[in-house]
A and B are shown apart, each in its own frame.
Chain A
């Protein structure tokens, strides 16, 4: 009459889940008192239609990029378990951003192509703070901008709008099987991205275990105005390469396990393989005098045309009454040599019966890409690949965030979010040759973003 040790002390916990499932299947939920309107996300149940509208504002420090992003979504949770959703997003970006050039103790001039027409031969002020000149050989219009001494050069007058659409359809094949298809498109003036994917999720053990697998294909087009620069081309403002493309295939696999009625854990793995054009057509790397550190010329960056990414994610969600603790960690490795870890913690705290706040903190660390360099030296041979993109640098980042929501009534939810993001250099500080220790090569950002929105349930 021995129960094996496998189940020792665990029978009651499992029975609890199985019992809850029995009553939900037979049309009765446990008569637990709802203490907070966010305890039961009944708004995501079958038979609901949710409209969601929100606006996000993002701003980097030192008047770099700022963005305004309105979003709208429509989600139909059908009675038979199917889910259809459409989401539209628009972005309006403006401001200046670092583009790879190192700072110098004297002003630096940069040349990039432009369409601004000028009258007269001596040039005139361009729309974006630079000066438009005409190349004497090609007669092409070139925008000349000047970076101040001792400051990190920024790409001025950056302005773009983006529109994106996302369609998703989930079909319940059986009570324990769901397939999801999604299509995404994103278009801006100089970049387009299209992707499509499918995934399948299967529940086991009375829906306490869910295993899912998915595949996705993405096709990106980089079409910088007036052509795309050839890797390591000198920044003259004249280049003629046309539209470049990149293909990305990815696969994901995940398992979600309900441990007790109030605790679930999740493990995901993803693999991604990108081939094709992966340079940023706006990024350069400075070539410096090996003794003084003075910039001699600027070359467009050169990245490998293949990149393989692997990531493992583990997350835990624990509910105690109306409080929910979320913890997660992610490890990432790619074939460019970047390894990163992300740790995330947040606490959902009920406020009264209709509201909640959710403070959260995230830590991120990444190592630099193998070919990342702040600069190249003029007396050395060109490497195979080089980039000074600050996103490939070694850095730490902290995000502090707070979210909140309030249910006005059974149909309307107001919500808002604010976060502060700060990057700091990790590892050895970059130094220019010569006696220029005061120049800061790290181009990391600090940014705030705020968002507010309203959800309406029909």
Chain B
């Protein structure tokens, strides 16, 4: 019996997350070359779609103040995708809901926004108020969009597909816990992924073995508000402008692509107490922590 060689890792930082690509081979030159490609693609996506970068295409859309902004094929495809997710989830997945972050800061304090603060923001939320033309988008003044719920997942899928088209070496792409593999490891064994614990005093919650597809986790137990004995988790319902009550601490989902896994875990969290029932109905491989 020989021990399985550890995969080569290429690490970098993008999208406010630690990112890495693992290569199941010992060809450091290949890993370096493809790793740099992965890093460049992640940077490209971040530059184009980051809400924090003023010169990103997304920021230009958010500053448009009611005027139509022309977008390219890729962004139109992502907006169409977001449109589909909005309709499929009947409004629970809404890329216009980011403005709620102005009043909800989940810093462990008791600063729960007042009703009038929430009411003032609700008119700025609602994907159905966005006008999507054949090659442009128009936001009402004050509205904003962001790709928080799908940008990183899209980047993982794209990087994995790009690299898999260039090499038969088995790879794992992991951007801040959203990950996808190109197949089982060379010896046929699965990749072993540890789920990060939501408890501060434990490092990992367990291991998941995957041979294909993607894995994402939603939930962050450190982000909450506590007032009058009520715990407000950080998952917000775009329809009410308030946190989802009774949401699991975390949901981990396996799916063919990172985007599907990410959207479905966000939706499961948004289902609150019904998260498990939702996941059962959808027949998804999922791990829910309460």
Contact = CB atoms under 8 A, between A and B. Distances in A.
A12 B164 CA distance: 24
A106 B70 CA distance: 86
Interface in A13-55: 14-16, 18-19, 22-23, 25-26, 28-31
Nearest to A33: B183
Residue of A2, A3, A23, A30 with highest tally of chain B CB at under 10 A? A3
A246 to B, nearest CB: 45
Contacts of A9: 281-283
A3 B91 CA distance: 9
Contacts of A206: 80, 84
A3 B81 contact: no
Interface residues of B, number: 41
B282 A12 contact: yes
Interface string B269-282: 01110100010011
Nearest to A3: B90
Contacts of B160: 31
Nearest to A16: B260
B21 interface: no
Nearest to B259: A19
B185 to A, nearest CB: 16
Contacts of B263: 15
Contacts of A12: 255, 260, 264, 282-284
Interface in B32-90: 73-74, 77-78, 80-81, 84-85, 88-90
Contacts of B134: 174
Interface in B144-187: 154, 157-158, 160-162, 164-165, 182
- Number of chain A interface residues as a range: 20 to 34
B257 interface: yes
Contacts of A25: 73-74, 77, 80
B267 interface: yes
Interface string B224-259: 000000000000010000001000000000011101
Contacts of B282: 9, 11-12
Contact of B244 (A1, A7, A11, A28): A1
A31 B244 contact: no
Nearest to A6: B90
B259 A7 contact: no
A22 B272 contact: no
B90 A22 contact: no
B100 interface: no
A3 B271 contact: yes
Contact of B237 (A1, A16, A19, A22): A1
Contact of A22 (B81, B164, B278, B284): B81
B92 interface: yes
A325 B183 CA distance: 27
B88 A15 contact: yes
Contact of B164 (A2, A26, A31, A174): A31
A31 B271 contact: no
B143 to A, nearest CB: 23
B281 A31 contact: no
A11 B73 contact: no
Interface in A199-232: 206
B1 to A, nearest CB: 29
Given A11-B282, A15-B88, A16-B260, A23 B73 contact: no
A8 interface: yes
Contacts of A23: 157-158, 161, 257
B182 to A, nearest CB: 7
A22 B161 CA distance: 13
Given A18-B81, A25-B73, A11 B89 contact: yes
Residue of A14, A25, A26 with highest tally of chain B CB at under 10 A? A26
Contact of A16 (B89, B256, B270): B256
Given A11-B267, A31-B165, A3 B157 contact: no
B81 A1 contact: no
Contacts of A22: 77-78, 80-81, 154, 259
A435 interface: no
B158 A28 contact: yes
Contacts of B77: 22, 25-26
A28 B162 contact: yes
A4 interface: yes
Contact of A26 (B73, B84, B90, B267): B73
11 contacts: A2-B274, A3-B271, A4-B90, A12-B260, A14-B88, A15-B88, A15-B263, A22-B259, A25-B74, A25-B77, A29-B161
* In the A-B complex, the 9 residue pairs with the closest CB atoms: A31-B164, A9-B281, A25-B77, A12-B282, A18-B84, A28-B161, A22-B81, A31-B161, A26-B74
